[in-house]
Amino acid sequence: MIDSTVLCGGGVDSGTGIAVDGSNNVYVTGQTNSTNFKTVNPTQTALNLGKNTANTDAFVSEINSAGSALVFSTYLGGLLDEDANGNFGAIAVDGAGANVYVTGSTASTDFPTQAPFPYAGGSANGGGGLTDAFVVKYTQSNAGSTFSLSATALTPATVSPGGSATSTVQVTQTVSFTGTVTLTCAISGPAGAVHLPTCAAASATPNAPGTLTVNTTAATALLQRPASGRSSGMFYAMFLPIGGIALLGIGSGGARRKKLFGFLLLGLVLSGFILMPACGGSGGGGGGTPGTTAGTYNITVTGSATGATQTGSPPALTLTVN
């Protein structure tokens, strides 16, 4: 599969150099006269037109490895032309993407500089209509690395107690974040709800979305007395054989045998009284659980990573338990 994207504004834009860091983030420089060229965390927010509305500036942009978002993009230039006619400009980056190096041409006397130094054949800020080279270094601190999260809707959106649903969570770089994000979630539901859904531990990176699984609790059986509140007929049925056994014992000869049947009869009667509470007593049953309460649950997904912070609003998901 070939990935491609368009990087431009409403005017004339041309690329003159490209580089890739160790995480496959792409860095581009070139020339633009677009007043609406897309900027993200820029060091120069607008095209420096001067008196000539056809003037051009250089631009420097970073695109994430997925090709789905600009991580950094800025104008670079003074009142006159930079990278005129798109015929000069190059860019390089270190493996971590922490330092970006850009070179090009400028005719501006007010080209932005820091700690300028004198050099042979020119001034500290350009040649005043002549063309000079420029070299610029951008530093992206790892301590400032940030990311944002997005998540697909839970599938399925409705489950029965004991069911589960999943969502795919994507990490998007805001600067040059390349680490692993640990995903967690906070869950709220109907008032008085018991056995709230839970989230299984998951993680994601800018190049590998994570699967977040939300689980619910199944109901288990309850031991309950009959709905009428009356004792079970099973208890009384247990006594039917007792009369027959008693008659059999009386009719049998021998004192020893009669005594044995007497103990047997007593044992059956005592067993019946022991089983009475379970079969038809006043208790309401015990054990078991009703499972996750029916209703709609709101799930907010957050992420954390070493040396990085989340930006934007965490994604919110909804799950219905019937």
Dump the DSSP string for 36-80. T---BS-SS-S---TT-TT--EEEEEEE-TTSS-EEEEEEE--SS
- Could you tell me if 56 and 84 are in contact, meaning their C-beta atoms sit under 8 angstroms apart? yes
Tell me, what's the pLDDT at 107?
87
Question: Which pTM was predicted?
Answer: 0.50
CA 21 to chain centre: 25
For residue 302, what are its two tokens? 């957050």
Q: How far apart are CA 264 and CA 244, in angstroms?
A: 12
Tell me, what's the pLDDT at 237?
53
Tell me, what's the pLDDT at 60?
96
Tell me, what's the pLDDT at 17?
94
Q: How far apart are CA 2 and CA 148, in angstroms?
A: 25
Tell me, what's the pLDDT at 283?
47
Q: How far apart are CA 83 and CA 76, in angstroms?
A: 10
By the 10 Å C-beta count (0-12 exposed, 13-18 middle, 19+ buried), 266 is classed as: exposed
By the 10 Å C-beta count (0-12 exposed, 13-18 middle, 19+ buried), 64 is classed as: buried
Tell me, what's the pLDDT at 306?
80
* CB contact burial 208-218 (16+ within 10 A = b; e otherwise): ebbebebebbe
Tell me, what's the pLDDT at 280?
47
- Could you tell me if 127 and 107 are in contact, meaning their C-beta atoms sit under 8 angstroms apart? yes
Residue 100 DSSP SS3: strand
Instruction: Compute mean pLDDT per 10 residues along the chain, 322 residues long, and list them.
Output: 76 92 89 92 87 82 84 91 78 87 90 67 52 88 72 96 96 78 94 94 89 95 55 53 54 63 65 54 59 96 85 88 96
- Could you tell me if 32 and 22 are in contact, meaning their C-beta atoms sit under 8 angstroms apart? no
> Side chain identity at 81, as an amino acid letter?
D
Tell me, what's the pLDDT at 55?
84
